[in-house]
Structure 1
Amino acid sequence: MDFNAFYLRSRFWITDYLKGSPIGKQYNDVRYIDTHTKEQCASIIEHKLHALLMHAQKHTEFYARFSSLTLTDYPIMNKMLLIENMSRIQVVPSEIPSQIGDVHIQRTSGSTGVPLAIPQDTIKRQRRIAELKYFGHMVGFTTHEKLVHLRTWNKWQSKTNSQIRLENIIPFDISKFGPEDLENLCNLLVTEKVVCIRGYSTTIANLATYVKNAPTKWRFPHLKVIIAGGEALYDDVRQMVKECMHCEIISQYADEECGILAQEKVPTKSTDNVMYFNHSSYIFEILKLDSVEPAAYGEVGRIVITDLHNYAFPLIRYDCGDTCIMMPPNEYSNGYPVIDKLYGRRFDLTYSTDGKAVSPLAYGRILKNYDIVSQWQFVQLDEKRYQLRLMLKSGSIEQLSEAIVLFKEILGKDADLEIKEVEDIPILCSGKRKPVINKWKNI
């Protein structure tokens, strides 16, 4: 047993209990809805939605003109619309239920080119903490065990020494992530007996690749699970993590504006890495890319979110810019549909020459079979023009002739595909490295 983790965990929950269990109550609510069927929770979700809509109608200038309690009667909002109407949507602190002090301002990284600052009230912040603890526990990570968080840390996003000690979270900066930094990270994982790693999928890919090829055979006996988010988790990364780091890896879908939106369960043969929505905190609509009609099962659709718990800034029918393919409920989803494929940003979807959306995973599943490839990036430049950028560990592009054939089977025989060897694939200011980009202006 990790006695320090046990002490910190007990200290946290005792303190929460003495304050009236604000986080404990949120945790229990998340757990109840997540473990009960859609029918059993329908009245709870409906009550949350109606309360949010009535609050928005009463306390915001933007929604004051509405009187309906039917969600589809409300407009779909995107980042630009939220920014343009910020003052008309934000609720003054004195009119927010159970607000303590000033609201928290949650800033997005702006990796899509549109930074956004969302006010969040006290209860919303408590809900986010409860979600982190619950969904971590669901995949084998018990709160307050040693965790390393990989991201770009700066003066706006940092942890104090007190937070590091009490949360048992070690921040590790990835703004520079070369071989020396990767070796330091591996040493840290061993010496600190780290149980969980949280980071972007591409960062985890870099770490797993380093461990696989490092002259030192690293072993991480305490590492139980890696939680990867921010981007699609590719099959080769899953395989590398399991083979080289000997732990589970789970894909989690979250954003700064809301929190944890969906997550895989601990893998079983029948789940096939699908993701399960967080229906305890959000209402999800998957709509067609070019209309407000619901997307069909198996069709790429845009993700529209209603946050049921942010009373400081009601996020109602928020088109977050991400896309996915939704499939019917399975035996583990409690009657809810599931995410079969999470594609990420709509403007980073690429299309075949006949206009069909292509899963980013399709490219990774080809390139994972070529050991000479260190990193890759696929770019759609025009309707039928593409570029595959490759960092090679060894060998030459000529060794990828079969891969080019396979790419053209996906894109179309008339695809104009350029293969370009590069020395580096740049990292965004958010710390992400985009494997797929669409520069086609007509999308």
Structure 2
Amino acid sequence: VMSPQLRDAMGSAATEAASAIGYLGAGTVEFLLAEDRNFYFLEMNTRLQVEHPVTELITGVDLVEQMIRVANGEPLTITQDDVKINGWAIENRLYAEDPYRGFLPSIGRLTRYRPPAEGPLGSGIVRNDTGVFEGGEISMYYDPMIAKLCTWAPTRGEAIETMRNALDSFEVEGIGHNLPFVAAVMDHPKFIAGEMTTAFIEEEYPEGFEGVTLGDVALRNIAAACAAMNRVAEIRRARISGTLDNHERRVGEEWNVALQGQDFDVTIAADHDGSTVRFADGTEIRVSGDWTPGDQLARMTVNGDPLVMKVGKVSGGFRIRSRGAELKVHVRTPRQAELARMMPEKVAPDTSKLLLCPMPGLIVKIDVEEGDEVQEGQALCTVEAMKMENILRAERRGTVTKINAAAGDSLAVDDVIMEFE
């Protein structure tokens, strides 16, 4: 929506406001843009904003350097005419917030923290501003922001695609985080079309974020990649040392891949350059890559396009995370798949009579006592985490039968705070 005319008008309004009060130093003026393209003053922050890398990437101006020089009494080394805009930049904030739990804070140790490499990626550039490290602890006492992942490219579409690949390459384990959500936004039609508003989350995820359901093309690409990866793993298992002489197990070509409630019968034809995975309906997908068992990041090429997946191990397959989706992918022989369809589904435990701690945090206050009858919406307790106090309320009418925590207790996710009749 940002035209040159709108940018000039906003810039003029911002500098006039700063001049009117004699402001000196770095500062950021924020505006709200209405549907009719009129804009309105929101606030001014007397500092650089979290989004300053976007400006630096498209202008080549080091704003931090300029801020320090001005604070030191030096004049600006540039004029407004020196500021030229080149290409597009996008920033995603990586937060220690769990989107599956209403973006509540998450704390813990970063058991794995591997950002994508900074520098060229495809047609774009990756930049990652961060202050954490693998093995470090995310505590309840500080802001939950972990990193600012930025991408630049000549066009908006290329910047988005670079960001998608960078997000898929970002490995974070040990805490809940919002990578799945921001990855989902990068693929959302409203974002791609540039039709985002401040009501985006409320309108698009009214029941909360529940992950991404992949379309048929993306699902088949992942199924084909996992079938090829499973073949590599099976060959390694077949060649394990200590087997009987002349009893080498042969790896078959026919497999069944089950994921996201669907399953596909496939046949794999492998050669030195990769594998051709043929589906029962005749569709063929070409897969190549250098993934080996144990690698937690798979950089594959599927029908000539890059596919980056975070890979974990589950019984009989893989835990795959890509493009905001988290999948359990089971790769089985036809006979194993036939037997698996007969297995009963595990029923989730009933927690409707328990108040579970939704985040790691400190119990600040318990508002009820054992034996109290509570009403829907009544405050039960307050949990503090990452500079915010969260009031937990009753979802329905009931009687408190047991309280398992007290003010001052530190709780983990899903610890039982109290029980109801």
Give the structure-2-normalised TM-score. 0.24
- Write 1 or 2 for the structure with the bigger share of helix: 1
- Write 1 or 2 for the structure with the bigger share of strand: 2
Structure with larger RCO (C-alpha < 8 A, sep 6+): 1
The structure whose Rg is larger is 2
